[in-house]
């Protein structure tokens, strides 16, 4: 879930269900570091599909900064492979990804972005309807341990040397996604609505 510059491969398996989508996110403690591209690579038979950036958020501060990005792909090929992150600039990144099925293939996501300056609670307001799933990413500069709200399902959390990065999801009529930590700090947030057929 982390690498220093160049590229990073995150192992993932996408099932054979119909109407698939793939959502990927990344976070870094340096706002000058960003992703040149994100590619879904199936190992056998070998195929490559580029994801599209759907949201990005920078937060700059004299003592802390961060950058977060969200990427998506409609109709990813099924199979075992890697989500490959190609990094511009040399710095640590953390990343996460997950796939869905029975999802809308055109205009299948809406995004909401927010940032919070020096708070120990990182909420983001989301308006979703029944059947939708909201995926959220959190990135903060530093080594704060963030805890997702009990109503959210954790995909993963990494507390690194330079940034903390979390990913969770919540289904059906979501109104907010929230993470909390014991120490106030900067955080960036991105939430994505995955729409059903």
Report field, pTM of the whole predicted structure over 0.75: yes
pLDDT of amino acid 58: 80
pLDDT in tens, 29-66: 776 777 889 999 999 999 999 999 999 888 766 566 77
Average the pLDDT over 108-132 and give the result.
Answer: 84
Instruction: Give the structural domain span for 85.
Output: 2-194
* Percentage above 90 pLDDT, the chain: 50
**Two tokens at 17?**
């269900």
The pLDDT assigned to 1 comes to: 46
Is 70 exceeded by the pLDDT of residue 92?
yes
Q: What separation in angstroms does the CA of 192 have from each of 11, 138, 175?
A: 22, 12, 12
Say how far apart CA 182 and CA 176 lie, in whole Å. 20
Least confident of 1-5, 127-131, 140-144: 1-5
The string of pLDDT tens digits covering residues 157-193 is 988 777 889 999 999 888 899 999 987 777 889 999 9
Number of domains in the chain: 1
How far is 191 from 176, CA to CA, in rounded Å? 9
Cα 107 versus chain centre, distance: 18
């Amino acid at each position: 879930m982390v690498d220093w510059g160049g590229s990073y491969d995150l192992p993932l398996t996408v099932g054979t269900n119909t109407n698939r989508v793939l959502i990927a996110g990344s976070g870094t403690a340096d706002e000058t570091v960003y992703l040149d591209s994100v590619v879904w690579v199936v190992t056998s038979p070998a195929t490559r599909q580029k994801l599209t950036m759907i949201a990005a958020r920078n937060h700059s501060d004299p003592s802390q900064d961060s950058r977060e990005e969200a990427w998506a792909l409609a109709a990813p090929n099924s199979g075992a492979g890697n989500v490959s992150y190609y990094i511009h600039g040399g710095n640590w990144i953390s990343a996460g990804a997950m796939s869905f099925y029975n999802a809308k293939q055109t205009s299948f996501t809406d995004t909401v972005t927010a940032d919070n300056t020096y708070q120990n609670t990182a909420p983001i307001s989301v308006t979703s309807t029944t059947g939708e799933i909201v995926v959220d990413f959190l990135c903060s500069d530093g080594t704060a341990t963030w805890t997702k709200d009990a109503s959210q399902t954790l995909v993963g959390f990494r507390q690194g040397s330079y940034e903390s990065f979390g990913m969770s999801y919540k289904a059906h009529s979501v109104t907010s996604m929230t993470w909390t930590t014991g120490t106030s700090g900067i955080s960036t947030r991105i939430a994505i609505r995955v729409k059903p057929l």
